[in-house]
Structures are given as C-alpha cells and as structure tokens.
Amino acid sequence: MIYKTVAVFVLFMMIVVNPFCSFASDKKRCSGAGVKEFRLGELKLCINEESEDGNYLLQFSNDKEVIFEGECAFKTTEPKIVRNAPLPNCKSLLAYCFSGGAHCCTSLFIATECGRRTSLAVADLAHGDEKVNFIEADGSSRKVLKIFDWQFAYYAPEDSRIQLSFASSPAMARLLVFDDERWRPDGIGEFSRFYSRLFRQTMQEADGSSKEPESAASVAIKAAYYCIMSGQPSERATEVLEKLLPEQWKSESPKVVSDILRAISEFNPVETIR
C-alpha cells in the first residue's frame, strides 16, 4: 500500500484549510522588525521571522484582505520572483513553508502574474526540501516546475512482508504545468522526451547499481514509473519490473505496476487558493 504520512495531512490542514477561516487576520502581524515584503501584481507577500511564538509567519494579502496566513517552523529558502515564467511576460513568486519534523513536510506557494490576473496556489512537496526550479521541457516555450512524487515512501505491496525503508524509497520527478490560469500536474505522455530521458538514465543506474534488494527494487519502481510517464504501455513497464526487481519482489510485479498506475493518476499535489 502506498504510504502517506499523517504529517502531510496535518500540514495540509494547517496551511490550506485554516487560512480560509482567518481572512480577518490582523495585518499588523506583518509589521515591525524582522519583516520582509514581496509584491507581485495585486498580491503582497510578507514574511515575519520574529513572530511572537518564534515561528516563521507567511502572509499573502491584497489591498482589501488577508488571503492566506500560516505559521511555518522556520525559513528554509528565501522567497524569490522569477521573470518570464511560466510564460513570456509573466512572473512568478515562489515561497516555502516547512512544517518541521523528520523528513517532513514542505509546501510551495506559487503566485503567478499573467496579464491582468494574479493567481495563488500551494503545492505539497511532502519530503522534498530542495529549491524548486522552472525548467523548459520538450522544447516548449512555457516553463514548468519540477517537483517529486513521494507516494512510494516506505512502500510495501499490500499483504506482503517486503517493504522499503525511507532511505531506499524512490522519489520520482513530476512536472507542474500552468494551464488555463491554474497549476496542474502533467499527464502521461505529455512530456514524453523528458521522461524518456529519465527512463534511460534510470536503466543505466540499474545496470551499475548495488544488488542490495531494497536499492534494486527502488530503481526498478523508478524505471517503470518513468516508462509509463513517457507514454509507453503498462505491458512495457511490467517487462521492466520483471527484469529489474530482485528475486523476492518478482512475484509482486503485477501489484507494483498497479500501484504505479494508481500513483500517477492520483498525483495531484497542487491546490488553487485564488
């Protein structure tokens, strides 16, 4: 069964649900010493590194109201504005909120100004703790955000005694696309060259990787995942798994393919705030 930590759910409730109950938040919390401000269109981001309870305050507002306000454990990365992203003549502001705790959990706030509209979204990065970057994929003029799918953290096929440790768990690259004024995850075959390249790299990794069962199983799952995302049929992914999985995992191959397909279809880490 694909493992999803309770901490991810708690973080989602803390930073996505609670702010909508606090539109009347006092903007004075974003004033005084330790406060920095960033502007993007009608949106203002203010961060307060010296809030009363010692946490890191992150607040988005416009001239009328507070749109989002949340407490983070501490600042991991300075917010930044990226020009000509995700489209020419557009701008994006990226800000991070870390919940604290081992392996968990980071959320990315994406404010995007395209034309007259400025939107705000939040993406659950789960265990990811690195800066997210815009990239150009498959020669497209639009830029996409590269994040990672952590649904296979501590993965174990259902009714099986085998399981991956966190250190051996695979995290697969995925892309967030700005489409029709919203951010969304990419689909199977949408960026076939991008995932074909990752598939080839992972197959090379498998050839030179350790024969330790957990590591081999992790690489096999990554290869099959990228195989499917590149647009190849699930039968091909099954062939890849049967070739790469360690002996004690081979009987689980159909179940692993099913879990990969479900993970791909259910991957939707981004929510639109406004």
User: What does the pLDDT look like over 126-150, one tens digit per residue?
Assistant: 888 788 999 999 887 889 999 999 9
**Residues 78, 161 within the same domain:** no
- Flag whether pLDDT at 93 surpasses 80: yes
**Residues 118, 14 within the same domain:** yes
Q: Give CA–CA dist 5/152, Å, rounded.
A: 11
Query: Measuring CA to CA, how many Å separate 44 from each of 78, 120, 265?
Result: 15, 11, 34
Name the pLDDT band for 76 (thresholds 50, 70, 90): confident
Domain end, chosen from 129, 151, 168, is at 129
Range scoring the smallest mean pLDDT among 38-42, 137-141, 177-181: 137-141
**Residues 90, 156 within the same domain:** no
pLDDT, residue 1, reads 44
**Residues 273, 137 within the same domain:** yes
Residues 104 and 73 sit within 8 Å (Cβ to Cβ): no
Residues 35 and 27 sit within 8 Å (Cβ to Cβ): no
Domain end, chosen from 75, 100, 129, is at 129
**Residues 141, 270 within the same domain:** yes
Domain end, chosen from 129, 145, 178, is at 129
Q: Give CA–CA dist 5/129, Å, rounded.
A: 16
Percent of the chain with pLDDT over 90: 64
Residues 269 and 126 sit within 8 Å (Cβ to Cβ): yes
**Residues 115, 6 within the same domain:** yes
**Tally of domains within the chain:** 2
**Residues 43, 118 within the same domain:** yes
Q: Give CA–CA dist 135/146, Å, rounded.
A: 7
**Residues 65, 194 within the same domain:** no
Residues 220 and 245 sit within 8 Å (Cβ to Cβ): yes
**Residues 182, 55 within the same domain:** no
Range scoring the smallest mean pLDDT among 10-24, 29-43, 49-63, 177-191: 10-24
State mean pLDDT over 210-237: 94
Domain harbouring 36, CATH code: 2.40.128
- Flag whether pLDDT at 108 surpasses 90: yes
**Residues 173, 109 within the same domain:** no
Domain that holds residue 261: 132-274
**Residues 143, 271 within the same domain:** yes
**Residues 163, 205 within the same domain:** yes
